[in-house]
Amino acid sequence: MLRNKNKEKKYEMSVKESLFWTVKAIKLLHTLAPGEMELEYAGDISQTVFIFINVFLTARLVDELATEMRPEKLILFAALIIAFTILSQILHYVFFHIKQYKGIFRGEKKQYMLNKKLTSLDFSDAEGQEIRDRFFKIKQDEDWLNMGINPAYALLENFIWAASNITGGIALSVSFLFVRVPDGTPGAWFLNSPLLILAVIAVIALNTKLSTASGILAFKKESGLNDASQKMNRMKRHTEDIQKDENRALDMRLYNQSSQINAMRLEAVDNGYAAANKKLSRGSAGLLRMAQSFLLWVPDSVMFLAVGLKALAGAFSIGTVTQYVTALTLASDSISGIIYNIADMRLNAPFIKKFFDFMELPNNMYQGTLTTEKRSDRQYDIEFRDVGFKYPTAETWALRHVNIKFRVGTRLAVVGENGSGKTTFIKLLCRLYDPQEGEILLNGIDIKKYNPRDYMGVFSVVFQDYFLLSQPLGENVACARNYNREKAERCLREAGFGERLDSLPDGLDTYINKEFEPKGVQFSGGEMQKIAIARALYKNAPFIVLDEPTAALDPIAEAEIYRQFDDITGDRTAIYISHRLSSCRFCDEIAVFDGGKVVERGTHEGLIAEGGKYRELWEAQAGYYVGEGEK
C-alpha cells in the first residue's frame, strides 16, 4: 500500500532535518507560552545540580563512616545534606507552580491557531475532504500517538536533562580515570591505562546501539499495526459516540443496531487489532522489547564492574565507590537517553512538518484590490456570463453555461430539483467559490478584481444551515462583541422576532443554548430562523439571499415568514431559494434550475403557460391543493 511506503520513508528523515523541525516547533511553543520552558528547564537543571551535591556529600559521609567516624564531621555532612534538600525543594516548587501558570492554554492556543488557519483558507479548500483530513489528523496524532508539536517540548527537556547529568556525572567521576591502582596488583596495566574507560565506553556504546536497534525494529514491527490500530480507535470512538446519542436511540432499538455494532467492534478490535497485536507480542515485538529492557541495565553493571575492579585493587575508598557508581550511572543513562531521544526526535519530526505544512497552505483565490463603493441607491448590477463550475472531485459540472442578470431591487425565486445547482449558484454569487469557466461581473467588472472582503459585504445570506453560536442573542445578530443595540433590536423586530424578544427578561443579552450560560434559552426552529434572518438584516447589504428558510417550519410559521418577506427585503435585491413553490408567488421573477443550467426564467403565470420544467414541478406540488379550495 502506498501509505505504508510513505511511512517507511518517514523514519528516514535525517537527524539534521528532524532537528530543524524540532527547533521550529520549540520556537512556536515558546511564542505560545513565553517563560514556561525557561522555568521548566531551569528547574530541571537546578534539580540535577542538587542531586550531584547530594551524591558527593553522601560519599563523604560513607567515607567517614568507613574510616575515622568523627562525629562532628558526620553531623556536618548530615546537616549539609538536609540543608540542600530544603533548598532544592523550595526551588522546585517555585519553578513548578510559576511554570504551570505560564503554560496555561498553550495547547489550546496552538489548536486555535490551526483552527483559524482552516477557516481562513479558501472555502473550496476548507471544505475539501483532503484538507479536512489533514487538519483532523494533526490533532489525532497528538492525542493518540503523542506525535507532533507538543512532544518537542519533552524532547528538548530530555536533552537538557541529559546534558546536565552528563556534565555532573563527569565532574564527579573524572578523578576515577586518574586514580591509579598500586603497580604490581594483577591487571594493573589495564586498570591504570585509558583502555579501561575506552572499554567501558565501547561496551556502553555497543549496548546502546543494540538496544536502540531492537527498539526501532520493534517499533517498525508495531507500526505495521498502525492501520489496524487507527481503525480500532475510530471504531471505538464512533460506536461509543453513537450509542450514547439519544437521537439515535429510536433506530438503535427498532433496527437492532447494537448487534450490528457489536459485530463491527468484534471485527475491528478482537479479530483486528488485538489479534494482530497478540501475535506480535508473543513473538518478535515482545522479544525485542524484552531485549531492549534487558540491555538497558547492562551499562550499570559494566560501570559497577569497572569501579569495583579498581576499588578491589585498592585505588580508592568505599565512599568514593558510591560516588563513582552513582555519577557514572547517571552519566551513562543520559548517554543512552540522548541516543533514544535522537531516535524519538527523528520519529516525531515528520509530524511537526505536517503541522507547519498545514499552516503554510496558500490561499489560491485571486484577491483583487478594488473597493466596492458604498452606494446609497444600492445600484449593484450583477451578471453571470457563461459561468461553469465543477467541484474538485466531481466528474460532472455542477453548473455550466449559466447566464443570468439580476435586476436591482427585484425579488427572484430560484427553484429546481435537489442537485440542480441552486446552492452552488449562491456560493458562486457570494464568491465562496470561483468559477472555472466564464465570469461574474459586478457593475461590469469581474468580481475577482474586488477586494474579497468588500465584495462579500454586498451580500447578506441566510443559509439553510445557518449557524448560531451559544452566545448572547444580540451578539449573534451583530456577529460582534460590541454592537449597536438599537440596530440589533430593530433587525430582530423586522425579522418577526419582536414579540419573543419582549418576553425575554434579559433581552438582547439572553444566551442562546446552554453551553456558555446555564440560563440560556433553547429557541425553536422557527425562532432560530428569525434570528438568522435578523443577522442578515443587521449586515444591511444590498443583496439578501434566503436559502430554504422554511424547510423545517410548519405552515403557520412558514406563512409568517412569507408575510414578512416584503419587510425583510425592503428595497434590496432578494433571492429566495425553496422547494416549496408557493414562494414563487410573491417573487417578481422565477429562475428554474435543472441539471446545472438555468432552463427557464419568467413570472409564475408566464412559466405555467410555457408548460416546461416549472409547470412540472408546480403541478407535482400544487395538485394536492388546487381544486380543493374551490369546491
Q: Under rule CB under 8 A, which residues in 115-134 are in contact with other proteins?
A: 115-116, 118-120, 123, 126-127, 129, 133
> What's at 273, amino acid-wise?
Y
228-259 as b/e, with b when 16 or more CB fall inside 10 Å?
bbbbbbebeeebeeeeeeeeeeeebeeeebee
From CA 123, how far away is CA 128, in angstroms rounded?
Answer: 8
Handedness of CA 27, 28, 33, 39 (dihedral sign): negative
If binding is defined by CB under 8 A, does position 184 make contact with other proteins?
no
Q: Which residues from 227-286 bind other proteins, rule CB under 8 A?
A: 231-232, 234-258, 260-267, 269-270, 273-275, 277-278, 281-282, 285-286
- By CB under 8 A, the count of residues binding other proteins is 171
Cβ nearer to other proteins, comparing 31 with 119: 119
Contact status, residue 386 vs residue 398, Cβ threshold 8 Å: no
Contact (Cβ atoms closer than 8 angstroms) between residue 54 and residue 84:
yes
Residue 574 in 3-state DSSP? strand
Residue 189 within binding range of other proteins, rule CB under 8 A: no
175 versus 403: smaller Cβ distance to other proteins: 175
Among 353, 354, 530, 535, binds other proteins (CB under 8 A): 535
Q: According to the binding rule CB under 8 A, does residue 526 interact with other proteins? A: yes
Q: How far is CA 155 from CA 139, 167, 349, 465, in A?
A: 19, 18, 11, 44
Is there binding between residue 391 and other proteins (CB under 8 A)? no
Residue 106 binds to other proteins (criterion: CB under 8 A): no
**What CA–CA distance (Å, rounded) separates 263 from 181?**
72
Pick the piece of the chain touching other proteins (CB under 8 A) from 83-91, 157-165, 170-178, 443-451: 83-91
292, 424, 529, 573: residue in contact with other proteins (rule CB under 8 A): 292
* Options 558, 575, 590, 607; binder of other proteins; rule CB under 8 A: 558
Answer whether 603's CB lies under 8 Å from 581's CB. no
Compute the distance between CA of residue 378 and CA of residue 20 in angstroms, rounded to an integer. Answer: 54
What is the gyration radius of the CA atoms in the chain, in angstroms?
A: 36
C-beta closer to other proteins: residue 386 or 619: 619
Asked whether position 551 contacts other proteins by CB under 8 A, the answer is yes
Spell out, one character per residue from 421 to 460, where the chain touches other proteins: x when CB under 8 A holds, - when not.
---------x-x--------------------x--x--xx
- By residue count, the chain amounts to 631
Angle at 564 between CA 562 and CA 568, to 5 degrees: 115
Give the nearest distance from C-beta 190 to other proteins in angstroms: 13
Least distance from other proteins to the Cβ atom of residue 363, Å: 12
**Beta strand segments in 472-528, E:** none
Element (H, E) at 20: helix 15-32
Which of 163, 164, 103, 107 is closest to 342 using CA atoms?
163
CB of 322 to other proteins, least distance (A): 6
- What is the end-to-end Cα distance of the chain in Å, rounded? 69
The reply on whether position 140 binds other proteins by CB under 8 A is no
**Residues 30-69 contacting other proteins, CB under 8 A:** 62-63, 65-66, 69
If binding is defined by CB under 8 A, does position 540 make contact with other proteins?
A: no
What is the distance between the alpha carbons of residues 568 and 417, in angstroms, rounded to a whole number?
26
Nearest distance in Å: CB 386, other proteins: 25
Q: Binding to other proteins by residue 301, rule CB under 8 A?
A: yes
Applying CB under 8 A, which part among 36-44, 365-373, 553-561, 568-576 lies near other proteins? 553-561
Q: Per CB under 8 A, which of residues 457..486 are in contact with other proteins?
A: 459-461, 463, 465-467, 469-471, 475, 479-481
What are the residues whose beta carbons fall under 8 Å from the beta carbon of 524, sequence distance 6 or more?
Answer: none
> Which region holds residue 86: left if phi is over 0, alpha if psi is between -120 and 50, else beta?
alpha
361 lines the binding site for other proteins (CB under 8 A): no
Please, which of residues 191-230 interact with other proteins by CB under 8 A? none
Q: Under the criterion CB under 8 A, does residue 597 sit at the interface with other proteins?
A: no
At closest approach, how far in Å is the CB of 529 from other proteins?
A: 11
Of 11, 26, 179, 300, the one binding other proteins by CB under 8 A: 300
294: contact with other proteins by CB under 8 A: yes
The least CB distance from residue 318 to other proteins, in Å, is 5
